[in-house]
Chain A
Amino acid sequence: MATTAPATPTPTPAAPRRGQRTRSARDARAGMALVSPTVIVVIVMVVLPVLWALVLSFQRIRLLNIQQLDLLGGEYTLRNYEQLLSSSGFLEAARTTLIYSVFGTAGAIGFGLMAALLVRRSFRGRSLVRGVLLLPWVAPVVAITFVWQVMLSPQLGVVNAVGTDVLGWNSPIPFLSQREGTVSLFGLSLGVPTALLVVIVFEWWRSFPFAFLFILARLQGASSEIEEAARVDGATPTQVFRHVIFPQLAGVIALIAVLRFIFTFNAFDEIYLLTGGGAGTEVLATQVYSLLSARADVGASAAVAMFMAAVLGVFLFVFFRFFGGEEKI
């Protein structure tokens, strides 16, 4: 701005006051006019539906009687929530959702951080590698879940073929339909939730690029002076990472952790497409879907979905309490 100052004619001292006031009033009006279409779309397609879902969760509504139904009137009842809390399927799904989100988020960030540190310095083909590493995240979820399904299939899959032919497995492992398998390690037999583990590994593969992208951007925005100074003082690479680089990344990692947690907590596509919610991988989102489509129980599905929103609300509230209420995005 300072560089263009000479080109801009300076108004007389009396004029700017009035000029600025009318200008800011004009800006305010233009701003509201320009932003209103977006706000209307969000209110009509997001805010109102959410409120309506809240109402639905207190009603006994099934899809079959929807045509006759008065959608806002009708009886209000807590029965959906009561049924929910007493059903073992719901509690199980809530537990699975939590495990899936926590491990999925942690792994995606861990691998993303590793990848970002690896490609940080320039080398030949670096931008190509960067693009390739982002592919799992941009590719259509239906296509890649299908590839993973076939890859892990006991009949067609390359993984089981290599496992039985090369690694000496006794029989192919049905990775996506086995609730619990055993792994022998140093003579110990360990129970492993196979299918759940596989969907979590898939989540790592699919989402590490997201963490990678943001961490790399932060790394490249950081100044290298402190790092150089530390290196001159004889700090080893791990020391530089621990005391210089990581502290600078803490902010962006916290932000990614929140976003990834929200996304995995809400995730539906990946699990529905990989396992259909079977073999111990039923999460809250797939439960909402089966309540809505297979059981046609609108009220119950709305109650589960509201529970999800409430949990996220509490999580975010706590998070922003601890990490300052400053809006980061």
Chain B
Amino acid sequence: MSAQPRRRWSRYAVEVQALRVLRPLGIVLFTLAALFPFYYMVLLSMRDISEVIQSPGSILIGLQDFSGATYQEVLRSVENGGQGFTRFLLNSAMLATGTVIVTLAVSVLGAYAVARLNFFGRRKVQALFLSVYLFPPILLAIPLFVALSKMGLRGQLFVLVIVYVAQTMPVCVYMLRNYFESVPASLEEAAEVDGATRLQIIRKISLPLAMPAIAATGLFVFMIAWNEFLFALLFLVEERNNWTVSLGVSQLQGIETPATTLMAGSVILTVPIIVAFLFAERLMTEGLTAGGEKG
């Protein structure tokens, strides 16, 4: 009778001791694994390509080796002997901003309706939105590619905005719905008793209350549009003036452009996303996982 509890106690002690060591070790390993490629990106972007070829294994460098030459080269326009990334940055920014504005304008209303109003076909609408993610994007790309080729609209940025709106809207509606549902309905009911119309309620009560959440969702949409690659590749590749930063980094790979220069391009591509993410991380992740917590 006394043997069993003691054995249990020893297994308990072993596990607790092991975890005391393994937990911090695991955290450190995961953090290093997640961060290393980003560190490597920044490192290479500031080194000279010939140095990298000579000693590819050195991953610690002194401050005196740092140089911003790659950044200057990547940002300079093609006419001035650079890679023209300033132009790509502008394109990416316009594309992503346009997508955010249109997507939010459409989704806020839809999400409000799905969260608050009981209408015929409400569940079907949600199923329809979900189905967007079940189809391979590459499947959608085919008919859109054919249609735009036929209409001669390939290479235009505004066409891509429409495609991105359709791609980001469902997740946007889903996140906004989660936020709207967390606003107490009693506030709106009180306003209704005071004689406010539905649109007034949305404008004066629901929207202001959900504003931080709407901003976070907007940033999330911005990130998706900024990061998008497949549709940009299919629709814009022939029109260098309209390339996004992603297209620039992927298309200029080859012999002519040194890897270090494109690393600078990659840093330029990544920094806005990380900044946006740090700004809205908590709200963004809460909006995404709100449905999963119940599941």
Q: Which listed residue (B30, B107, B113) contacts A31, Cβ 8 A?
A: B113
Contact in complex: B285, A268 (CB < 8 Å) = no
Interface centre among A63, A146, A147, A157 (most CB of B within 10 A): A147
The reply on A262 being an interface residue by CB < 8 A is yes
The reply on A102 being an interface residue by CB < 8 A is no
Q: Which 10 A-B pairs have the closest CB atoms?
A: A31-B119, A161-B57, A45-B166, A31-B117, A38-B110, A217-B289, A143-B266, A34-B113, A305-B139, A266-B136
Q: Which listed residue (B44, B134, B229, B278) contacts A131, Cβ 8 A?
A: B278
A313 cross-chain contacts in B, Cβ below 8 A: 134
Interface positions, chain B 1-45, Cβ under 8 Å from A, are: 5, 8-9, 11-12, 15-16, 19, 23, 26-27, 30-31, 33-35, 37-38, 40-41, 44
Contact in complex: B31, A133 (CB < 8 Å) = yes
CA distance A238 to B14 in the complex (A): 11
Contact in complex: A234, B8 (CB < 8 Å) = yes
B247 cross-chain contacts in A, Cβ below 8 A: 142
Which of A3-11, A88-96, A180-188, A191-199 contacts its partner?
A3-11
Contact in complex: B273, A49 (CB < 8 Å) = no
Contact in complex: B56, A309 (CB < 8 Å) = no
Contact in complex: A32, B15 (CB < 8 Å) = no
Main secondary structure of the interface of B (DSSP, over half): helix
Which of B61-69, B78-86, B181-189, B208-216 contacts its partner?
B181-189
Q: Which listed residue (B106, B121, B134, B293) contacts A37, Cβ 8 A?
A: B106
Contact pattern, B 83-103, Cβ under 8 Å of A = 1, otherwise 0 = 000000000000000000000
14 extra interchain contacts, Cβ-Cβ under 8 A, other than A134-B281, A289-B138?
A4-B184, A28-B118, A129-B30, A135-B274, A139-B274, A142-B246, A143-B266, A165-B57, A214-B289, A221-B294, A236-B12, A288-B141, A309-B134, A328-B292
The reply on B262 being an interface residue by CB < 8 A is yes
Interface positions, chain B 138-185, Cβ under 8 Å from A, are: 138-147, 149-150, 162-163, 165-166, 169-170, 173-174, 184-185
